[in-house]
Amino acid sequence: MKNTLIVALSLSVTTFSFAQKKELKTAEKAIKNANYAEAKTALGQAKSLMSSMDGKLKDKYNFLNAKALYANGTGSQSDINEALTSLESVSDNYASELSELKTAMENDFLTKANEAYKSNNFSLATDKFEQLYRVVPSDTTYLYYAAVSAVSGQDYDAALNHYLKLSDLGYTGQEKQYYATNVETGEEEVFDKATRDILVKGDDYIKPVDRMTESKLAEITKNIALIYVNLDKNDEAIAAIKKARANEPSDVNLILTEANLQYKMGNTDAYKSLIEEAIELDPNNIDLFYNLGVLSAESGNNEKAKEYYNKVIEMDPTYVNAQTNIAALILDEEKDIIEEMNGLGSSAADNKRYDELKEERMTVYKSAIPYLEAVLKINPDDVQVTKTLMNIYSAIDNTAKFKALKAKLETLEGN
Calculate ∠ Cα 241-139-95, nearest 5°. Answer: 145
Asked if residue 57 lies in contact with residue 24, where contact means CB atoms within 8 angstroms, the answer is yes
- Cβ partners under 8 Å of residue 3, min gap 6: none
Calculate ∠ Cα 165-168-173, nearest 5°. Answer: 80
**257-279: pLDDT as tens digits:** 788 788 878 887 888 888 889 88
**Reported confidence tier of residue 16, pLDDT bands at 50, 70, 90:** very low
Put simply, whether the predicted model's pTM sits higher than 0.75 gets the answer no
Radius of gyration of the chain (CA): 34
Provide mean pLDDT across the span 307-332. 93
Residue 17 has pLDDT above 70, yes or no: no
pLDDT of residue 51: 67
* Amino acid occupying residue 352: K
**115-135: pLDDT as tens digits:** 999 999 999 999 999 999 999
Query: Considering only CA atoms, which of 235, 241, 280, 233 is closest in space to residue 257?
Result: 241
Residue 7 has pLDDT above 50, yes or no: no
**Reported confidence tier of residue 181, pLDDT bands at 50, 70, 90:** very high
- Point out the least confidently predicted range of 40-49, 113-122, 172-181, 385-394: 40-49
DSSP state of 92: G
**62-83: pLDDT as tens digits:** 899 999 999 999 999 999 999 9
Residue 366 to residues 322, 372, 391, 397, Cα–Cα distance (Å): 18, 10, 12, 11
Asked if residue 259 lies in contact with residue 281, where contact means CB atoms within 8 angstroms, the answer is no
Residue 20 has pLDDT above 70, yes or no: no
Asked if residue 387 lies in contact with residue 370, where contact means CB atoms within 8 angstroms, the answer is no
Mean model confidence pLDDT for the chain:
87
Phi, psi (degrees; rounded to nearest 5) at 181: -95, 130
d(CA 223, CA 149): 13
**Reported confidence tier of residue 366, pLDDT bands at 50, 70, 90:** very high
Handedness of CA 7, 13, 15, 17 (dihedral sign): negative
d(CA 331, CA 346): 27
pLDDT of residue 288: 81
